[in-house]
Structure 1
């Protein structure tokens, strides 16, 4: 069985240059000062959720694990760094043998999070952990933003399927990651074949307006599509006159036509008219798919419409107005010496304003009320209270440099559905509000 069968990505090239230069210049300075081997703990968290959001969604964890495994400095990369004069010889020699040999713990992918949640903890020497900062943040910030938007859209859609169709609205590589994150957040299929190939996500797609315009008539276009894809296909009916197109579609495909797609106009009104027309033509089982710049609010507004599925593009791949989660990667503890077993001590940024942080290696748990509904995100650095030991959130992801948390993508999607269902009902409200759970530091 290959990785695609498990919904896991195929091999990817080195991720070593997916970083900011200052990660490597810090490494060089630490090697010179003799502090590079100090045992260190870094944590990923966000100080706040995007404005108005009630919860966040952890996504991209599987991609982070791939990135850590492939964070290797080959001769080509080392040559680039040497030619640019970015690093000195000893640092390049150190990087030539780089492998992350530490430990990573984190919230499992698909879990929800809140302000201050230590969603990932990276432990190792300062040198081996600091260089991972940028690539970890770039993945988690992007994927978690997309997954959060997808989750809100899934709530708005209810039982109706969601199709991710945003590949043309973002960078070609971001499109693949976005399709994966949207699937974690609750979408059902993607139009992006690279995402289907790499992550085994179901794919979907039929035709665009260009295909209709290519032919001498709408009937010719529909006939060509049905002849090729069968009567169960989805015909796009808003190139010209919707009413005439629906009539032609049923005439060509018969009452067994799979679906019609509407991509413009007053979707609520048109959907009702098309449903009535389809029923009158005997196509009572033909579904209605709507697209056209949908977001969670537009989807919610169509809840009473006779719509069977939604296609979403721009808004899901851009986080529906919040393209990042503002996650940070902060040193929270480190040893005073290089010797193995040297105790860790908490460290923290104490700058004025909202950018201060809390030192110490943290655990996180979700306290439940008597009905089993989450009531608080509890974070601490000391012993875990006995009543929270069964509610701890962090799990081992990497142990001694070896990935220990591979899982099928469907497992992360199911986890998110369960995690969201365990939140207070107000979490699913689309109106702006504060995080649905308070964060308590103990």
Structure 2
């Protein structure tokens, strides 16, 4: 029996389902564990009413796969729980993913059937990644997809991510990253800033006003520390009086005021008129209060300069998961040749075979279809764009540049820009482009 090797301090190996390991045990017994396989991650459909999805979380996933190692602690837990037998524990103690991974670049738009991630390895090394892949991509892609609709509705006005208090502490960090990929300007979450380099911002909540004897004292303290460019929260008591005090304290160069309750459109118009009358023509108006893409679109006609979004963003604005699945689509037969396999049960069918994808575009560069080749890449007709990039080769990450946040953010912008106009509508409808298998 080989001795378990030390796992990284933050091993991800047990962030998985029990049955992933019992499948490995049974496959080791049957001999299928070493059979070459292709696993594919895709969504059978988009959340109801959505026109496109956005891939996010790939950078987090690559990091998690590198840390998917079973050290002494993990092996001991599995042995104590009698999850698998000693033979399987020996296999897991030596586990390191040694296959190949291809996928859509982070920030890319996707559609039903898009092969968002393709994992090529033997069965045992690939199947154990299922839960890890899905937990990361389903969450982050759901957040990025919602964020993309919000930034689309906001246009050139920035969106601020501020949902940390409305979700699990680690989900908050992931959500901030995904939102930034999809165009959000900043986050309130400091760990997202430290871990991923997402720009952070924040000023004060109502409690800061309430702890002082009055608004004038609170505003003066904040301005003294943060400068006149700060944002003052003006709806703790009376908005009109608070705006007046804010300008008296900070002067007409006050950076911004924030509205967090009431009829935001009406209030924004009233506050804009008041600020202008006080000479604070450059003071911006930031609105918060449970905004989603529909509320943001409804505020487009108002004098709003930025949107703070929390609950609706970190919960996917009604679609908290992207609905992706991880399926075996090809395996080697008794001769060693790869053959397509597919699930055929009712309402949960899949298409067998290793997939390749490109986005068919017209002469103007507008996307017309998602073209999926089975077994071989589809032919580029001259205006198309290949979608799969290499992430892992022989167990080594080779595509890290595709998940760098500035790159992913730029990619999201260009990917969404090439979609047809219907993709940007918030009304219910079909996917913006069809998926065609060749």
Give TM-score, length-normalised by structure 2: 0.96
Q: Work out the CA distance in 2 between the residues paired with 1:436 and 1:37.
A: 40
Q: Work out the CA distance in 2 between the residues paired with 1:43 and 1:388.
A: 25
Deviation at 1:391, TM superposition (A): 2.1
How many residue pairs get aligned? The number is: 428
Alignment match, 1:409:
405
Equivalent residue of 1:43, what SS? Answer: strand
Determine if contact 2:149/2:424 at 8 Å carries over to the other structure. Answer: yes
**Given the alignment, which residue of 10, 15, 22 partners 1:13?**
10
Deviation at 1:32, TM superposition (A): 1.0
Q: Which runs of 5+ in 1 are unaligned?
A: 1-10
Question: Within the alignment, does 1:348 sit opposite 2:342 as a pair?
Answer: yes
Deviation at 1:384, TM superposition (A): 3.4
Please list the CA deviations of residues 99-123 of structure 1 after superposition, one character each: whole Å capped at 9, or x if unmatched: 0000000010000010011110000
**Given the alignment, which residue of 138, 141, 156 partners 1:159?**
156
Equivalent residue of 1:174, what SS? Answer: helix
Within 5 A, what are the aligned runs for 1:21-60? 21-60=18-57
Please list the CA deviations of residues 21-77 of structure 1 after superposition, one character each: whole Å capped at 9, or x if unmatched: 000000011011111000100000011000000001000011110111000001001
Determine if contact 1:55/1:112 at 8 Å carries over to the other structure. Answer: yes
Within 5 A, what are the aligned runs for 1:5-404? 13-337=10-334, 342-351=336-345, 353-388=346-381, 391-404=385-398
Equivalent residue of 1:202, what SS? Answer: coil
Equivalent residue of 1:285, what SS? Answer: coil
Q: Work out the CA distance in 1 between the residues paired with 2:32 and 2:117.
A: 23
Deviation at 1:410, TM superposition (A): 1.0
Determine if contact 1:107/1:119 at 8 Å carries over to the other structure. Answer: yes
Determine if contact 1:365/1:388 at 8 Å carries over to the other structure. Answer: no
Determine if contact 1:366/1:388 at 8 Å carries over to the other structure. Answer: no
Q: Work out the CA distance in 2 between the residues paired with 1:172 and 1:327.
A: 23
Q: Work out the CA distance in 1 between the residues paired with 2:425 and 2:161.
A: 22
Q: Work out the CA distance in 1 between the residues paired with 2:219 and 2:88.
A: 63
Deviation at 1:382, TM superposition (A): 4.1
Question: Within the alignment, does 1:436 sit opposite 2:432 as a pair?
Answer: yes
Equivalent residue of 1:435, what SS? Answer: coil
Q: CA RMSD in A?
A: 1.2
Give TM-score, length-normalised by structure 1: 0.95
Q: Which runs of 5+ in 2 are unaligned?
A: 1-7
